[in-house]
A and B are shown apart, each in its own frame.
Chain A
């Protein structure tokens, strides 16, 4: 596997609003900001829920499972980073498919990635003077039903 070594990454700024998200992986759990009034998950994090404008918000763990909503196999060396080619994907989380993450799919060959593929989170730890960060990447979910590797049934006209 290509990614045995942690590649160079431009890390996110750690701020009051989203810092929790980037540190969440320290204990192996993915968290999203959730409204204590209506249960809406807010991502990217906001200071206020858009539903009833509540500020009663707190990070809450999710299962870490999701599906590939879309993806692109990247061959272009935009900047120092993972070994080429690597997969950029938008993953929708199991608890609410409207909540998505732009991320990378690791742990499988790029050509094996498909829309609808079940994935689970895996964290990549980075440390520098700006503070520790755990980037949520995703890998194929070995526990997912083998029959649901692709949501081909969602194709229109089939």
Chain B
């Protein structure tokens, strides 16, 4: 492919920001969102009046707590003047919104796009746990299931935990993958979270802790599931020509992956041992001269532990079917290993910031600003941020300029 036609390369990440993050902050989610937006613009060294694009995932949509704010609310609250704006959930994963921002700056519709993702699932679920967020309130009544839930809710399968468990089970069956192997995703996340002051769970976790935790949906136990939280993450995506004199050296977008060749369905996807990330990951490598062996760090979605293993295979970092043996023992994916993974603690331990946390961490690591948890064996030059699972996935290949 002609390099000039790979338009995402005209985009870079110039600013990152995060609000307070916690299990239940009890803070208005719009306020959290604005905190992260202001922080990202300041981090870029820009004024709010420089922002001329706005995008978010999923927009004002979904069950309570799933979205802390929509684009319209932020547009209004910050009195933005926008050349381009977009919002929505039907995108290549959570980071699909950031990919759209890259294309918007490349197309000249905006110079500096503010991207945000806010959650307040911690507060929204209150003391009822995840059941508090289930459709129909999880209670009795006249509620009838429609859309995709028509095919899952009647069978008491309301959660992505159950749907993704069946992808994992298929992988276990075909390749002999084990819970002991999968545990390393959770243990590695917890070890990294210990060095992340903003992480939710920082206490050490052992294999015994993991194996003795209660089962949720086999093969998933409690520690295979991420931790709902309150918090917001924001980025400024700038055109490279507008990024030269900003506060930080920009993190360049080298390539993105957005493809979805299989059916856009959780249970009808052609091969349940992989996911939409198979297609997005393969597409990413058609848009760059770099290869998987160039990658120094991977920040890959772990809404459920197996998703990260699936991403390792989808991105060609590990041969198909071999993510289990690859992560076994945990050494390869540790911060001082050959492929540092989810260096901030992922969503499993740092909190379910829903996709955006991975890009935030990738930028910090590529800048060399990740503090105590900075990968130091070699300053990372090339990183991946990947988010999503099942039928909705997107990824970015990033480089340090």
Contact = CB atoms under 8 A, between A and B. Distances in A.
A112 to B, nearest CB: 13
B155 A102 contact: yes
B181 interface: no
Contact of B218 (A11, A73, A128): A73
B173 A79 contact: no
Nearest to A74: B217
Contact of B173 (A70, A85, A103): A70
A128 B146 CA distance: 17
B268 A43 contact: yes
Contact of A72 (B140, B166, B174): B166
B154 A130 contact: no
Given A79-B134, A81-B156, A88-B162, 5 more contacts: A11-B145, A71-B166, A74-B162, A78-B159, A115-B169
A156 B154 contact: no
A69 to B, nearest CB: 7
Nearest to A110: B218
A11 B144 CA distance: 5
A10 B173 contact: no
B166 A70 contact: yes
A44 B176 CA distance: 31
B155 A79 contact: no
Contact of B156 (A15, A79, A115, A157): A79
Contacts of A103: 155
B145 A13 contact: yes
Contact of B131 (A72, A79, A155): A79
A9 interface: yes
A14 B153 CA distance: 14
Most buried by A among B139, B151, B270: B151
Nearest to B266: A102
Interface in B181-229: 214-220
Interface string A2-14: 0000011111111
Please classify how large the interface on chain A is, using the bins under 10, 10 to 19, 20 to 34, 35 or more.
35 or more
A12 B134 contact: no
A30 interface: no
A88 B135 contact: no
A154 B157 CA distance: 27
A82 interface: yes
B165 interface: yes
A14 B146 CA distance: 9
A135 interface: yes
A43 B170 CA distance: 21
Contact of B155 (A44, A73, A88, A98): A88
B217 A88 contact: yes
Interface string B76-114: 000000000000000000000000000000000000000
B138 A78 contact: yes
Given A13-B145, A73-B215, A73-B217, A135 B155 contact: yes
11 contacts: A11-B154, A13-B144, A70-B173, A72-B166, A74-B217, A77-B131, A88-B217, A102-B155, A130-B144, A135-B155, A157-B176
Contacts of A14: 144
A15 B146 CA distance: 9
A14 B5 CA distance: 48
Given A10-B136, A10-B143, A79-B139, A156 B169 contact: no
B217 A75 contact: yes
Nearest to B321: A156
B111 to A, nearest CB: 41
Contact of A82 (B152, B153, B156, B214): B156
B175 interface: yes
Nearest to A17: B150
A129 interface: yes
A73 to B, nearest CB: 4
Contact of B174 (A100, A102, A128, A154): A154
B358 interface: no
Given A12-B145, A12-B146, A129-B142, A72 B155 contact: no
